[in-house]
Amino acid sequence: MAAEIHANRFRLLTEQVGRKFVAGVEDFGYGAALLVESVFWLLAGRWRQQRVRLSAIVQEMMDIGVQAIPVVTILAFANGAMMAMQGIYTLRDFGAESQVVSGIAMSVTREFGVLIAGIVVAGRSGSAIAARIGTMQMAQEIDALRVMGVSPVRYLVSPILAAMLLMMPILSVLSDAMAILGGGVISVMELHINLDTYTTRVFSELVPGDIFQGLIKSVVFAVLITLVATGNGFNASGGAEGLGRATTRSVVLCIAAIVVADMVFTFFLSR
């Protein structure tokens, strides 16, 4: 009997692992198909008489990008200031606190600027997009679009993708600038240098590759947030509770996806 119970448990466990794996592969395939289709509509919609409307893209750019500016500004500034404080404290033991400037310049442009922008966009828009599309799914609005001959991907996903691809790099550059400024304010106070010297040193340390690394990541984050948020919205089911679940899942997966992708890209881009 004990052996049978053991075998049964093992079978259930492997079954669960198998199912999760298949679901993961399905999600990945779904995301890839969504990406291909939304890019297709962006590029070829005009020739198929199904243009992606510029007004929709501008609206999404406002929601996703412009309205995120205050939060990104505050978070990036605070993050830059914290990095400067911690850097100066740590490097003081070695008498190398002035090196904090190059540390901030590099880590912000390569890493933290874009990550902060990504997390803010994932938190704000990742939930909002999933909730909006999920509500439409449940109210049969997505079906209504399809039977009207309007592709839901073209109408809902393509404008978001375009807006994300345009706004994420802009937000990352803003985030870089604000974090460097935050670090600068602390450096001026602690290291007794003036802001001009700080700025000159920052720019002498940076090479275009550093900024470029952040920009590449911002584009990848834009795609990931779009696919995860819209995918979760389209697959929402189960009433108000299901919508809440889809929204939470969207935010958590968006942030997880961008952090993991960040690690992978840093690994390859830092070689």
Partner 1 sequence: MNTTPPDTSSQPVIEVNNLVTYYGDQKILDDVSLSVAPGEIMVIMGGSGSGKSTLLRYLLGLHRADAGDIRLFGKNIDTLSSHEWMEIRKKIGVSFQGGALFNSMTVGENVRMPLREHTSLDENTIKIMSRMKLEVVNLAGYEHLMPAQLSGGMIKRAALARAIVMDPGILFFDEPSAGLDPVVAADLDNLILRIRDAMPVSIVVVTHELQSAFKIADRITVLDRGRILMVGSVEEVRHSDNPRIRNLLTRTSEDEPVDVDGYLQRLTEGAMRF
Residues near partner 1, by CB under 8 A: 5, 8-9, 12, 48-50, 132, 135-136, 139-141, 143-144, 146-150
Distance in Å, CB of 218 to partner 1, minimum:
28
Which residue, 48 or 92, has its beta carbon nearer to partner 1? 48
Which residue, 4 or 93, has its beta carbon nearer to partner 1? 4
Distance in Å, CB of 99 to partner 1, minimum:
52
Distance in Å, CB of 143 to partner 1, minimum:
6
Which residue, 43 or 150, has its beta carbon nearer to partner 1? 150
**SS3 string of the chain?**
CHHHHHHHHHHHHHHHHHHHHHHHHHHHHHHHHHHHHHHHHHHHHHHHCCCCCHHHHHHHHHHHCHHHHHHHHHHHHHHHHHHHHHHHHHHHCCCCHHHHHHHHHHHHHHHHHHHHHHHHHHHHHHHHHHHHHHHHHHCCHHHHHHHCCCCHHHHHHHHHHHHHHHHHHHHHHHHHHHHHHHHHHHHHHHHCCCHHHHHHHHHHHCCHHHHHHHHHHHHHHHHHHHHHHHHHHHCCCCHHHHHHHHHHHHHHHHHHHHHHHHHHHHHHHCC
Distance in Å, CB of 156 to partner 1, minimum:
11
Which residue, 52 or 117, has its beta carbon nearer to partner 1? 52
Which residue, 90 or 140, has its beta carbon nearer to partner 1? 140
Distance in Å, CB of 243 to partner 1, minimum:
13
